[in-house]
Chains A and B, each alone.
Chain A
Amino acid sequence: MPEVKYSKEHEWIKVEGDIATIGITQHATEMLGDIVFAELPEKGSSVTKDGTAGVVESTKAASDVYTPVSGEITDTNQSIVDDPSKINQDPEGTAWFFKLKLKDKSEMDSLMNKVEYDKFAKETSA
């Protein structure tokens, strides 16, 4: 099983080899409400840990999407741009945001595991 980790900005990251797939968590989508717009980084661009790498908008407001790790964007998920409601339907599955080639695997170490994230999400939303 590939390892899945979570950031304090409510992104999830799944690593297979040196490629990471990144999206936003179920908890994030519940806080955002109905998502009506998504903007993704450009393929081939470089992103830096904790920097912005996209935008999601609900009917109410816009929110930045951050990347929890640094790397070069290798793929983006056009289907969530075409139909942003997919992000609400399957945020931690088919509605991933982008894939990147990891620059520094040790950046994964500071991220939370599932148990830690669930606790964090519960505490911060209370």
Chain B
Amino acid sequence: MNANKTQLYNLHKSKGARFVKFAGYEMPIQYSSGIITEHNLTRTKSGIFDVSHMGQLFLKGGDDLTEKLQHIFPTDLKTLNINQSKYSFLLKENGGIYDDLILTKLKDGFMIILNAACKHNDLKIIKSMLKDDSLKLNEDVSLIAIQGPEAKDILEKIIKNVSKLNFMYGNDFDFDNEKIFITRSGYTGEDGFEISISNQKVNNLVDELLDLGSNLIGLGARDTLRLEAGLCLYGHDINEETSPIEANLKWAISKNRVNENFPGAEKIKSQLNDGVKKLRVGIKPNSKIIAREFTKIFDKSNNEIGTITSGTFGPSVKAPIAMGYVSNEFSKNDTEIFLEVRGKKISANVCKLPFYKKNYVKGSINA
């Protein structure tokens, strides 16, 4: 089967992209400048990410729809403001995570951004739960993100008033005689925006952003950026076997929804009341050795207590960083643990997430 290509494929190629197959798409893992340069450009200037492989689902409806979606997602959607976004999950009955996603309430419905590898299964589940066989992912739109301290000034030059958006809010804007939807969000730990734009216009917008001094950034740097920011990568740090509570993401479950009806509600309630056996934590190796995904974690008496789910070198923190699950009794910050790398046990400490923190910029109005 041929891999799908995004609208920006030829542009990626012209910038020296090295491609990987990801969720059935040919995606750029890095460009000619390399992952560390791309990472640092995003932290110090700005970077453009092609995330068009992600699913964009638009649901039309009013209060009825909100009510139905409350039975699918563990988020309080009734109190969500128009144009406000929330991080949420599609959950299994056993509390495991089918996908993590961003819900945005629109004037006439909801927009849901889904992970590329999960989007077709998500759609199947949502269709069956809403009993609406006509639902489709919107394949006519691309999705790009611009992230970094210069993102707002660069985008503002093209899209007037976009810098007034608050974090985790969106709105319609005009670009080249077309309506586009922009949210102030992202997955890098930097201020930034995600832009849903037609397949016809996306190349024009990206060209303009590049002309204003922004840079294309591949999936490699996206991974180091999100891990420094302590953010989960679906299929690695969270999956169908981990619940949001075990993943230390209970902040994303609306408190007033815990006693209500949505998939996994029973499990989440019991885990909130009785605690969990394992918990996702940040892990900082006490040397320069990098512990990758699947690295086994031990206590000082050599008992296996967990597994690393993401691990790399953090270019901004200039040290190896990791996340993983450990038995609950080892989840306190500063607990010493041992990671088995190439047959040797190396010392590490459980630590607070994120590894890298910047304050998200607030806009002046809920534009």
Binding site for B on A (CB under 8 A): 33-34, 36-37, 39, 55, 57-62, 81, 85, 88
Contacts and interface: CB of A to CB of B under 8 A. Distances in A.
B331 interface: no
B1 to A, nearest CB: 22
Contact of B30 (A33, A39, A57, A85): A33
A61 B35 contact: no
B2 to A, nearest CB: 19
Interface string B18-39: 0000000000011000111101
Interface string B226-250: 0000000000000000000000000
B220 A33 contact: yes
A37 B39 CA distance: 17
Interface residues of B, number: 19
Interface string B306-325: 00000011010000100000
A53 to B, nearest CB: 13
Nearest to B219: A60
A88 B33 CA distance: 12
A24 B1 CA distance: 36
A99 B227 CA distance: 37
B26 to A, nearest CB: 17
- In the A-B complex, the 9 residue pairs with the closest CB atoms: A36-B313, A34-B36, A59-B35, A34-B34, A57-B290, A34-B35, A59-B312, A59-B224, A59-B313
Interface string B274-300: 000000000000001110100000000
B313 to A, nearest CB: 4
A33 B34 contact: yes
